Amino acid sequence: MKSVFVLTLTMLGAIIGVTLFAEIGPVFGFRHMEGSSAIFGFLFGLPVGTVVFGLSAYRYARHLDRRGLGRAVIYIWLVTILLAVSGVVYELWRTSDYLSSNRTAASIQFEISVPDGTSLTGPDAISISMESPKETRSASLGQVTPASGGAAEGLIRGYIDLYRVTPERVIKAKIGNVIHEFRLELPARPRRQSEFGEWKPADRGPVPKARIRYKYWLMN
């Protein structure tokens, strides 16, 4: 019975250790969204929880008789079940506003057309991000084509990863010393778009205004 008690409490410690360390992972730079916080929980929380609870269970077991050990095992299993159910409910609540149930990223692929004469060169010439009440994401830039060869406008291509559900999304493009703002006309949970939409002028910025078009897809 003592071995059952020690094993049961050690398993509970392992579960608690993994859960706690996974939750505090972002404090140490391990993000929830990419799953790195879960890896952090297994690497550090599992051994810590196992050792702490295992040693405590071994020391405590020496002071209990058989009946006391039996009751303790029952109580531990009840607590374990309660924690598991609470964890599932909490996780469902925490991920209810994610675009994907497994918290993978969705992406907006965009093209921004800027007027002729706009400088698109230099290390700090272009900085683009998406802002919403729930998240701020930097864009990954692709091909940048300055206006040349008869083209009246330069073109900036890139994409932005999204995770959270919200109807309010704004792309802010700092190009040179000017900031252009584009309000995305997407619902809180957009449907996949395989083709670019129509060109739309910036909602805020200098004249002549930059234009944007974009498409959306969810990566499962």
| Residue 154: pLDDT over 60 | yes
| Residue 120: pLDDT over 70 | yes
CA distance 89 to 53: 25
| Average confidence (pLDDT) over 73-98 | 77
The model's confidence at residue 80, banded by pLDDT at 50, 70 and 90, is confident
Task: Tell me the average pLDDT of the chain.
Answer: 80
Residue type present at position 219: M
Query: By C-alpha distance, which of 7, 18, 20, 14 is closest to 72?
Result: 7
Crossing angle of helices 2-23 and 66-94, in 10° steps, is: 20
Alpha helices in the chain (DSSP H): 2-23, 36-40, 46-61, 66-94
**Which residue is associated with the tokens 């060169």?**
121
For 160-213, how does the pLDDT look when each residue is reduced to its tens digit (9 = 90+)? 988 888 889 999 998 888 889 999 988 888 888 888 999 999 999 887 788 899
pLDDT computed for residue 103 by the predictor: 66
| Average confidence (pLDDT) over 4-29 | 77
DSSP summary character for residue 150: T
Q: How far is CA 16 from the centre of its chain?
A: 23
| Average confidence (pLDDT) over 58-82 | 74
